[in-house]
Amino acid sequence: MNIIITGASKGFGKSFAEIFAADGHTLLLCARNEMQLKSTVKAIQEKNSKAVIHTKAIDISVKENAIAFGKWCLEFGTPTIVINNAGRFLPGSIFNEEDNVLEQMIHTNLYSAYHLTRTVLPAMMQEKQGHIFNICSIASLKAYSNGGSYSISKFALLGLSKNLREELKPYNIKVTSVMPGAAFTDSWANSGVNENRIMEANDVAKMVYAAAKLSPQACVEEIILRPQLGDL
């Protein structure tokens, strides 16, 4: 299987790459930071020497780049799984966040998934198979303090997922919205929060992996994960 993972150099993206690499699939990874991406690939291949991994350092918050990455992926064949994980968080409130924050959040957290998915979907629809995972957020479900435009963009990504789910049923393409709460990734490393208080990044990867392994007749529409003690 060919598996596309965006934002794959760290955090959830890295965990997704690690768990699918263990199965011997062909991974097509992208991230903005080329050095981090290479480091991730090296770490994965040290554990799974037979893993086939192709990478492209690119910022897919830019429409033309998202389309270019999708076309590059298609050169390796029709993708079986697409994990739209690229994302960015800028804290703040709508009334006081800096100008252009909304645009940045929408471009990174919504448009990247929109344009990449639109680029690869025709091939997937022709083969009538595949699975799209959109990594949304608990912020897609409930507004919270200091969420601002980030939450707006994640609400929008969940909306994209819901529309795709309905549109792609006749083509046997599954769509899963993933809404994780706080998990210990790089963004939490210097927060002062005890890593045992929140989830592990790999917890989310395990759930996505499990959903991807179900029979063709079953689709997990939404995955919601929170720390055992609840949101922070």
Q: What's the pLDDT band for 102 if we cut at 50, 70, 90?
A: very high
User: Mean pLDDT of all residues in the chain?
Assistant: 94
Q: In the block, which residue shows the tokens 């990874």? A: 29
> Does the pLDDT at position 209 exceed 70?
yes
Per residue, the 3-state secondary structure of the chain, as one string, reads CEEEEECCCCHHHHHHHHHHHCCCCEEEEEECCHHHHHHHHHHHHHHCCCCEEEEEECCCCCHHHHHHHHHHHHCCCCCCEEEECCCCCCCCCCCCCCCCHHHHHHHHHHHHHHHHHHHHHHHHHHHCCEEEEEECCHHHCCCCCCCHHHHHHHHHHHHHHHHHHHHHHHHCEEEEEEEECCEECHHHCCCCCCCCCCEEHHHHHHHHHHHHCCCCCCCCCEEEECCCCCCC
What's the pLDDT at 188?
66
| pLDDT the model gives residue 65 | 98
Domains of the chain: residue spans and CATH: 2-225 (3.40.50.720)
Cβ 130 vs Cβ 173: under 8 Å: yes
- pLDDT at 192 (0 to 100): 74
What number is the average pLDDT over the span 216-226?
97
User: In the predicted model, is pLDDT for residue 145 greater than 90?
Assistant: no
Average pLDDT score over residue span 142-158:
93
Q: How confident is the model at residue 56 (pLDDT cuts 50, 70, 90)?
A: very high
pLDDT attached to residue 33: 94
Neighbouring-strand partners of residue 6: 30
Q: Say what the pTM is.
A: 0.95
Sequence letter at residue 21 = A
> Could you tell me if 52 and 26 are in contact, meaning their C-beta atoms sit under 8 angstroms apart?
yes
